Structure 1
């Protein structure tokens, strides 16, 4: 699967919008250690690994298809943050992890975990809207704007979808997959209940 194809699939799953850092990280590839050194320590601690894996599993749970843990999405998120994201985004991610650790996320009930993540998602949407307004005002005033980084929940959701649907499990078991495609048919109707095609 080509990077652009995977990115377009994730953008479609996110409702057509994907953050600029994720787009740049995926299209440009890895950066040097100087460009990506932030306030988060790599490798993640065992508790942080469990926390990231659990959040990803809540976003894409195991059903009749593999979940995010089966696709090792937690490891993918850690690798992408370390190698491809700027320090400000790493710092944002670190702050989100710290907030969830402080609320004993791993010891909370499944319903409480969903409530915490739903609240973080709402806050992330509000923060992104506020950032957009501030950036617009700064641009109109001719001032330079310093982007605070992508909010934690937005990052973890984008990376979970990206990691899952570009993994072998996601592409071959959650989507309709043809390992050696035949001729190209540009428009094929899906049968009722059929999975979307992997790219």
Structure 2
């Protein structure tokens, strides 16, 4: 397993070792001991989530507020996504900056997103299966969201505007500058 820290401290790209032969491929998608050794931190995942989406779906940008914050390890089981993490740590020098990466079944890459980061993704293929582990349980009413197309974030979701599919909830999210009061 190869672990690469992004420019957002604590946010890592994980590249599992993929073994290929005439039968196909094999990879260890998660090993708790190796994962913690590679990150140099304790993480206890307690919940797995999975979504299936058609091309053009944008599920973004969400997080859970403390004390229900969640670290996540995300990967694609089938298809392709553009995965995005936004630093929402108030005192971080990279507050409001984002990191994006294409995750696919083919490249096998995963992204570890620490607590207090906004997270989202856009699906780049039909029938994309997206899986993520969380280190805290989902708590209704503690979710915070920022609109996916906030100009201050400048995220290129790799989709044409006409093909973007949003939930009603995500259409109503505020811009980043309107959520800052969360810290006060």
TM-score where L is the length of structure 2: 0.26
TM-score, with length taken from structure 1: 0.25
Larger radius of gyration: 1
Q: Which has the higher helix share?
A: 1
Larger fraction in strand: 2
